[in-house]
Amino acid sequence: MTRVGTEIEMTVDDVAHGGWCVGRHHEQVVFVRHALPGERLRVRVTEQTTRFLRGEAIEVLDSSPDRVEAPCPYAGPGMCGGCDWQHASLDAQRRIKGKVVADQLSRIAGIDLDVDVEELPGTPDGLGWRTRVRFSVDEEGHAGLRRHRSHEIEPIDRCLIAHPGVSELGVTDVRWEDVKDVEAVASATRADRAIVVTPTTAKLAALPELKASSAVLRRFKGGRVQSVRGRKGVREDVAGREYRVGAGGFWQVHPAAAETLSGAVLDALEPKPGETALDLYCGAGLFTGALADAVGPQGRVMGVENGATAVRDAQYNLKDLPQVRIERADVAKQMREWADVRADVVALDPPRAGAGKEVVRKVAGMKPRRIAYVSCDPATLARDLAEFDRAGYRLAGLRAFDAFPMTHHVEFLAMLEPVRLARRHREEQD
Ligand SMILES: C[S@@+](CC[C@H](N)C(=O)[O-])C[C@H]1O[C@@H](n2cnc3c(N)ncnc32)[C@H](O)[C@@H]1O
């Protein structure tokens, strides 16, 4: 039996979701980090289950031509868990991610497709893009990043994938007392900077006034860091519109992602003046704003979001657009209430867990001519695409964006149409 801590020699020949390569050692499946397909490696076993082992490559015996030296000194066995593919060229990273996604679509949804992962503009070396970084604070008050599959914290002086605006906040230079974690936020388009601090439970109990927001937000504007409370946050500009994004609210972390994705949603849906559009899981209203401009004042756009801060942000961001209505609700519950509503086009961008069967069925029941499904999780996307297929909607096009270089994450946009139209669309593309 191969125990945790044992070192083994093996070859990996495939990739799996999550930054792993896969191989076998004496017929046992082993998932290996810091490896590349085709490599022969010395692997230290880090986890053992009844079905497989996990491990990390501690020595490369026979190297892949795709291997490069990791730019970050904290990316390696036993260290920071934030990045997965620093040791692969960016081309190879995108090929690997495309293969992982194609495998999941085939296995879970029976969809066979070559997936080309597109580079986003502005970060040709794959570094300096992450506009939001959550640092964990250790017992001595040092901010660092968590090790892979661990609660242990890797102390760091700098994160190379962090946006320069995040680095300039100097979170790792400060001793944080009674603090659990610190989120550093940089606007990609303005000088706004924010630090969102989550106090330890003991500190929170001792400071009743903090309970309401559970965070102190400090806003950095024009070279100054100022403390503010509650939901104020950074501002972002996308396609000529200003969006306020409050503390803890969702915003795409790559500087080019918000503009690229909202453009891609419009390209996929082709909304027309006067149409009715839905933006489900609308956050601060990014796609709602783009859809509202496209359908115009004769059309209407209904956004649904359950986060109180995000709802207030979306209402504030889009207050000049009479065709927009933002509902604060759980999407599934709202869709039940809208049983009689018809929509021409629907955008949905659920969290990692996906939309699920009920929401998929309700969206299909609205009989939209097109659906744009934005996702960052290939497994739940594939599961929901299979459900859409059963509900009469088929994948007509898929785009994948390298919105998280150096990590295993990918952002997707799936365009769906009623089965007959989708088949024609796919045939035209082939
Ligand atoms: C991936 S974000 C998308 C936000 C927006 N489309 C954007 O690009 O900025 C998902 C959003 O869904 C919201 N959300 C999560 N579960 C929800 C639910 N069951 N009902 C409504 N909104 C939900 C989250 O608060 C978050 O704002």
List the CATH number of the domain containing 393.
3.40.50.150
> Is 308 among the domain residues?
yes
Ligand 1 atom at shortest distance from the alpha carbon of 330: 20
Query: Is 286's C-beta closer than 6 angstroms to any atom of ligand 1?
Result: yes
Q: What is the pLDDT along the chain (430 residues), one digit of tens a residue?
A: 788 989 999 999 999 999 999 999 999 999 999 999 999 999 999 999 999 999 999 999 999 999 999 999 999 999 999 999 999 999 999 999 999 999 999 999 999 999 999 999 999 999 999 999 999 999 999 999 999 988 899 989 999 999 999 998 889 988 888 888 888 999 999 988 888 888 776 655 554 444 434 445 555 544 444 444 445 678 999 999 999 998 778 999 999 999 999 999 999 999 999 999 999 999 999 999 999 999 999 999 999 999 998 999 999 999 999 999 999 999 999 999 998 999 999 999 999 999 999 999 999 999 999 999 999 999 999 999 999 999 999 999 999 999 999 999 999 999 999 987 766 666 676 6
Q: What is the pLDDT of residue 209?
A: 43
Flag whether 187 is in a domain: yes
So what's the pLDDT on residue 276?
A: 98
Residue among 131, 260, 305 to mutate when testing ligand 1 (max atoms within 8 A of CB): 305
Domain end marker among 234, 267, 298? 234
In a domain, 73, yes or no: no
pLDDT of residue 212: 37
DSSP state of 337: H
What does the pLDDT look like over 291-300, one tens digit per residue? 999 999 999 9
- Give domain status of residue 101, yes or no: no
Nearest residue by C-alpha to atom 26 in ligand 1: 283
* Domain harbouring 55, CATH code: 2.40.50.140
Please give the pLDDT value at position 178.
Answer: 83
Those residues with Cβ within 8 angstroms of residue 65's Cβ, 6 or more apart along the chain or in another chain: none
Alpha-carbon span 55 to 57, nearest angstrom: 7
**What is the tally of structural domains in the chain?**
3
Tell me: do 223 and 262 sit in the same domain.
no
Same-domain check for residues 404 and 260: yes
Cβ atoms of residues 127 and 74 within 8 Å? no
> Which residue range is the domain that position 173 belongs to?
132-234
How far is the C-alpha of 261 from the C-alpha of 281, rounded, in Å? 15
Q: Find out whether the beta carbon of 388 lies less than 6 Å from any atom of ligand 1.
A: no
Say yes or no: 226 and 196 in one domain: yes
Whether 210 and 303 map to the same domain: the answer is: no
The CA-atom distances, in angstroms, between 60 and each of 9, 90, 126, 161, 298 are 10, 19, 23, 25, 62
| Residue 281 sits in the same domain as residue 227 | no
Are 421 and 272 in a shared domain?
A: yes
Together in a domain, 273 and 421: yes
Note whether 235 and 229 are within 8 A (CB).
Answer: no
In a domain, 140, yes or no: yes
303 shares its domain with 352:
yes
DSSP 65: T
Q: What is the CA radius of gyration of the chain?
A: 23
Match 């519950």 to its residue by tokens: 333
Q: Which of 206, 234, 262 is the last residue of a domain?
A: 234
Quick one: 138 and 198 in the same domain?
Answer: yes
**Does residue 58 lie within any of the structural domains?**
yes
CA of 364 to the centre of ligand 1 (A): 19
Ligand 1 and 250: CB distance under 6 A: yes
Beta partners for residue 10, in sequence order: 41
Residue 180 included in any domain: yes
Q: How far apart are CA 384 and CA 369, in angstroms?
A: 18
Looking at residue 420, what is its pLDDT?
A: 74
Pairing of strands 324-328, 300-305: parallel
Assess whether 318 and 404 both reside in one domain. yes
Looking at the fold, whether 36 and 166 belong to one and the same domain comes out as no
**Do 272 and 394 have their domain in common?**
yes
Distance between CA atoms of 14 and 27, rounded to whole angstroms? 15
Q: Which pTM does this prediction carry?
A: 0.92
Which residue among 45, 67, 89 closes a domain? 67
Give just the sign of the alpha carbon dihedral 255, 258, 261, 262.
negative
Q: Which helix (H) or strand (E) holds 92?
A: helix 90-109
- Establish if 78 belongs to a structural domain: no
Quote the CA–CA distance of 41 and 62 in Å, as a whole number.
7
For residue 219, which of 231, 233, 209, 230 has the smallest C-alpha distance? 233
Task: Give 283 Cα–ligand 1 centroid separation in angstroms.
Answer: 5
Centre of ligand 1 from the C-alpha of residue 355, in Å: 10
